[in-house]
Amino acid sequence: MQSAPTSSSGSAVKTSSTTPLGGGGSNDSTATKRSTRVRPGDFIFRGLSTGSAVLIMVILAGVALFLIISAIPAITADWSTNSQLNTGPTAAFPNFWAYVGPLIWGTLWSAAIALLFGAPIGIGIALFISHYAPRRLASILGYLVDLLAAVPSIVFGLWGIIVIRPFLLPLSDWLSANLGWIPLFGGPVTTTGSTILAGALVLAVMILPIITSISREIFLQTPRLNEEAALALGATRWEMIRLAVFPYAKSGIVSATLLGLGRALGETMAIALIISPAILVSVRLITEGQNSQTIAANIALNFPIATTLQRDALIGTGLMLFVISLAVNSIARLIVNGKRGKRKKGKDKPSTPGPLSTLPSGDFASATAIDVVAGTPRIGVSDIEGPTPEEDIEGARY
């Protein structure tokens, strides 16, 4: 070892006489000797925190478990002979799967249409706020879009009834008259406007905020240098976005869209209030009474009038919805996390959170709450590359 521990000769003052400073000198050398007593505060607090984290897993498992327990009687019953199930809303179906199949179709179909409108607009808004709007306006504009998330879904439902339904009537008439030969626009045209098109349009409005807030977050994380490099090469703003922003944000856009899909799948009230449904597989957009019904709306409409076993059947359909949206959300989150993992690979950082770990879940709460802690900088937005290995050693804190 090449260090040269000094001869302690004549260098330091050897006095160890005590010169206590002030009245607070309760520490003495025995303090370090005292054995690590478990501090009760620390112990309880750590226990509560860890316990809460575990409780979240228990809750999620509980949700699945209780749905399964409640649904089993209806799933296993023979619907054609069961006296509770061969009447009323469940009368026409031989078994649970025949009942839930069209509902799953309706759920996916309405969500897909909503996504068709919502995703491009949501991503466009995000692009507008992150790369086109004046810097000073950007946060206000973002706040406006987040306001959409604050409006209760039931209000959107009511709004859909009296505004969107009549608004789409002329369009429906025109589509039916001119494009009626396309199956999408086939069937008797609506007179009230209670179409799946109207429902999906309201859904699209409702999923805008989540798509926008997540895409915006990702767009803002594009490495500034890449953007400037593209502009320096003479690219127009759009070419810069295509060359520097989109490749970087691709997976983020995909997962934002999937999260929007997840929300559209589970939305109840807008559909329940607007659409005049039937439990069947149909692609028709502008009829009434022949629209595919969604799982959530079907539950909301039939739950109050259902018998016990019919309720179990509805819970069974809810279980299917739970499984589907769980799958969609998991895939979306895994894409985000996978991206984070890839970018972090090869760096053994002790802890600094990656840029995507502060990704808001797209709700109003987290999207706006960020702005309010005064005087503290955003973590991670500009810190794409993370600390250099050197800083890792000296500068890694938490």
DSSP string, 246-271: HHHHHHHHHHHHHHHHHHHHH--HHH
Q: Residue 281: how many CB atoms within 10 A of its CB?
A: 12
Both tokens of 111, joined, read: 């969500």
Residues within window 280-299 making contact with other proteins, judged by CB under 8 A? 296, 299
Compare residues 98 and 154 and give the one whose CB is closer to other proteins.
154
Task: Give the integer Cα–Cα distance in Å for 182 and 176.
Answer: 9
Residues within window 130-159 making contact with other proteins, judged by CB under 8 A? 132-133, 141, 144-145, 147-159
Q: Does 37 bind other proteins (CB under 8 A)?
A: yes
Both tokens of 25, joined, read: 């000198």
Task: Give the integer Cα–Cα distance in Å for 103 and 294.
Answer: 5
Q: Does 229 bind other proteins (CB under 8 A)?
A: no
Both tokens of 299, joined, read: 């539950």
Binding mask 163-202 for other proteins (x = CB under 8 A): x--xx--x--------------------------------
Nearest 5°: phi and psi at 187? 80, 165
Q: Residue 25: how many CB atoms within 10 A of its CB?
A: 9
Cα dihedral across residues 219, 221, 222, 224: positive or negative: positive
Size of the site for other proteins (CB under 8 A): 157
> Which member of 89, 186, 266, 277 binds other proteins (CB under 8 A)?
266
Angle between helices 196-220 and 165-179 (to 10 degrees): 110
Q: Does 268 bind other proteins (CB under 8 A)?
A: yes
The residue type found at 330 is S
Minimal distance, residue 104 CB to other proteins, in Å: 13
Q: Single out the segment in contact with other proteins by CB under 8 A; choices: 78-86, 184-192, 233-241, 282-290.
A: 233-241
**Residue for token pair 């226990």:** 47
Minimal distance, residue 131 CB to other proteins, in Å: 8
Residues within window 50-79 making contact with other proteins, judged by CB under 8 A? 50-57, 59-60, 62-63, 66-67, 69-70
- Angle 41-45-50 from CA coordinates, rounded to 5°: 150
Minimal distance, residue 183 CB to other proteins, in Å: 27
Q: Does 269 bind other proteins (CB under 8 A)?
A: yes
Q: Single out the segment in contact with other proteins by CB under 8 A; choices: 79-87, 88-96, 175-183, 332-340.
A: 332-340
Residues within window 340-379 making contact with other proteins, judged by CB under 8 A? 348, 350-351, 353, 357-358, 360-366, 368-370, 372-376, 378-379
> Which member of 25, 136, 181, 346 binds other proteins (CB under 8 A)?
25
